[in-house]
Structure 1
Amino acid sequence: YIVAYVGSLQSWKKPEFLIDAASHLDSEDILLLIVGGSPEDLERVKQYAQLRNIKNIEFKGFVEPHMTPDYMFAADLLVHYTPSKDQLLKSYSPIKIFEYMAAGKPILAPRQPWIEEVLRDGETALLFDENDPRDLAEKIKRIKQDKELAAKIARNAKQESQNYTYEKRAEKLIQIIHALNSKGKF
């Protein structure tokens, strides 16, 4: 069972949280696949995993952007993680969530206000406590065991992703501009 994280490993993103979650996965048939990261960041995170003697992780390092969908489609489950301690990140909306949704795979993401504007817990994702790696590990196990829930989340997320295309976002922006213009705000 492959659980993939696709993204950077910069220290502010706290990728060690993923390693800590992997330490709570006692099943040998769950592999955490980490795709991305500069050579320096990758080495730092690998050392963190080695110091904790975590074996159920595979690091791919940086891959060309056109290759990332291959890794997403190969996974059984996709995990997003960015801590929200920084005030700026409380309104941060990475495109990765929309890519994950379009991939048609179940998604796990931290319970954060901006994420809850896009993903619905139990419907388009399972949300976990961003400060609790055990909670993430439990959600991984739950999705792995509950095939019906996994299929529902994947299906709903893929369908919902159609509301976040560039075309749909442009339409919404045009509607906002027209509304502001009609009120004399433009």
Structure 2
Amino acid sequence: MIHKNLTSVFIIPRGSSEWKGNEAGWITASGWAAAGEQLWGNAVVATSDGLFNPRESRLFPRTDENSSVQSSSNSSKKNIRKLVPEIFITAYKDWRLKNSKPAIWPIEVNDALKGKNVKMVWQRHDLFSGPGRKLADKYKVPLVTSVEALAVWEAEKWGVKRPFWGKWMENNFEAKALKESDLVCCVSSELQEKVLSLGVDPDKVIVTPNRVDSTLFNPGVEGKEIALEYNLSGKKVIGWIGSFRDFHGIDHIIEAFILIEKKYPKAVLMLIGDGNQMPDIKKLIELKKIKNKVILTGKQKFTDIPGFVSNFDIAIVSARSAAGFHYSPLKLREYKATGKAVIAPRAGEIPELFTDEEDLLLYDTGNIENLAQKMETLLTDENLKLKLEESSKNWFEKEGAWIHELKSVCDILEIKY
């Protein structure tokens, strides 16, 4: 039974128009919040610039009203950046981020929690945290911190250098916030190990792989209008969703598709998303003369993505390399929740959590020929494809939704629901 006065707080320590390029961060946070809403009937998503419900926050980041003004100055900013050493730019960004955090957050002065029985405060980890500890103490409830990445550590992986202040920030901001949490939820075991290396109590660090918002992604989703719009009737759709960034190796997907597409005239490749690699991908498609077989939809609203995925016959997770793969791919879960047969790389946590030829098909990361073989297998072996689809549906029902993870967290912390 849901009581109207129960609620939960989900803090995302950024503004609602920030984190462009990291929409997945907003999506996962909103997924946790949607589970809180399912569990207690209400959930508040708190950012540095306002309060929102899960349905609103899943569409963040919002478009900046001054985007046209900003775009006109982009070229001058790029020219300035060429003259300034990268280390100073990083230091300036860190300083600006620290100073962007309000002294008093909207959640602290808004009456949204007035008369409410707050069950839990959840906070997404960031370089500089939000008011999670303060609110948890005020309402005498546990603070749960969700970690998708450690800021200094991940940035270093991407070549961002903080030679004088990186370790100091990691210890005095990131590690401090994690140690103050009652429970730390890491998306992968590799990330859990890194969190533990910062001195966080092992008894309060767990792995909570990414899940899906079951109100959006489920086996019953249909996308008939999308099928009509993109003329998918009678086609075998090999699909991928995400940001067009180098580490996804989208060119590998295209090269693999090229190896098999002539044998299967009904097969088409649908790539959903956008990003800085898009120009290169378009050039590759033109060069290989497969424009009539590849559908580039551009970036789509997150709430429309389930309809696109419902049209996939084969769903692809990709990675250029397995090295340093510490992610918990959200798209993999979205595919499986929609009941799809999935091909994924042997990278990170994936082979540990999912069994090859039982839950999905694994390919050797970076091996284009092997990826092509897996595509061909699912185009020809209908029984295996149906088996993987049924496995995906079973996974969703047993453990695939965020509410499953939230209930586990509540059980550990002895929070009633």
- 1:132 maps to 367
Deviation at 1:86, TM superposition (A): 4.4
* Partner-residue secondary structure (3-state), 1:18: helix
Q: Tell me, in whole angstroms, the C-alpha distance in 1 between the residues paired with 2:409 and 2:259.
A: 43
Matched, 1:42 2:278: yes
Deviation by residue 1:86-111 (Cα, 9 ceiling, x = unmatched): 42x2x210221111110101111011
**How does 1:24-173 map onto structure 2 within 5 Å?**
24-25=259-260, 26-27=262-263, 28-38=265-275, 40-55=276-291, 56-87=293-324, 89=325, 91-162=326-397, 163-173=399-409
Question: Is this contact kept in 1: 2:346–2:364, CA < 8 A?
Answer: yes
- Describe the SS at the equivalent of 2:297: strand
2-structure distance, mates of 1:145, 1:126: 14
**Structure 2 unaligned blocks of 5 or more:** 1-235
Residue 322 of structure 2 contacts residue 347 of structure 2 at CA under 8 Å; is this kept in 1?
Answer: no
Paired letter, 1:69? P
RMSD value over aligned CA atoms?
A: 1.8
Normalized against structure 2, the TM-score is what?
0.40
Structure 1 length-normalised TM: 0.86
Deviation sequence 1:127-158 (CA, Å, 0-9, x none): 11112111111111111111111011011112
Shift, 1:64, TM fit: 1.0
Q: Deviation at 1:176?
A: 4.7
Q: Distance between the aligned counterparts of 2:266 and 2:400, measured in 1?
A: 34
What is the DSSP-based 3-state SS (H/G/I as helix, E as strand, rest coil) of the residue aligned with 1:34? strand
Which SS does the other structure have where 1:24 is aligned? helix
CA offsets, 1:43-66, max 9 Å, x none? Answer: 221112222333422211111111
Q: Distance in 1 between matches of 2:413 and 2:348?
A: 25
- Which one scores higher on RCO, CA 8 angstroms, separation ≥ 6? 1
Inter-partner Cα distance in structure 2 for 1:128 and 1:172: 31
The residue type paired with residue 104 of structure 1 is G
Provide the C-alpha distance between the structure 2 equivalents of 1:85 and 1:77, rounded to a whole number of angstroms: 22
User: Matched residues in 2 for 1:18 and 1:159: separation?
Assistant: 27
Write the letter of the residue equivalent to 1:36: G
Structure 2 partner of 1:18: 253
Measure the CA separation in 2 of the matches of 1:144 and 1:164: 26
Mark the structure with the bigger radius of gyration.
2
15 and 7 in structure 1: CA distance in 2 versus 1, 3 angstrom threshold: same
Q: Percent identical across equivalent pairs?
A: 23
Where is the helix percentage greater, Structure 1 or Structure 2? 1
* Aligned equivalents of 1:20, 1:57: Cα separation in 2: 12
For structure 1, the 5+ residue unaligned runs are 179-186
CA contact (8 A) 1:22 1:57 kept: no
- CA offset at residue 177 of structure 1? 4.8
After superposing on structure 2, the runs of 4+ consecutive aligned residues of structure 1 that deviate more than 6 Å are: none
Identify which range, 105-114 or 40-49, moves more after superposition.
Answer: 40-49
| Aligned residue-pair number | 175
Q: Distance in 1 between matches of 2:361 and 2:258?
A: 20
Shift of 1:76: 0.9
Which AA in structure 2 matches 1:128? Y
Q: Distance in 2 between matches of 1:129 and 1:11?
A: 18
Which residue does 1:181 correspond to in 2?
A: none
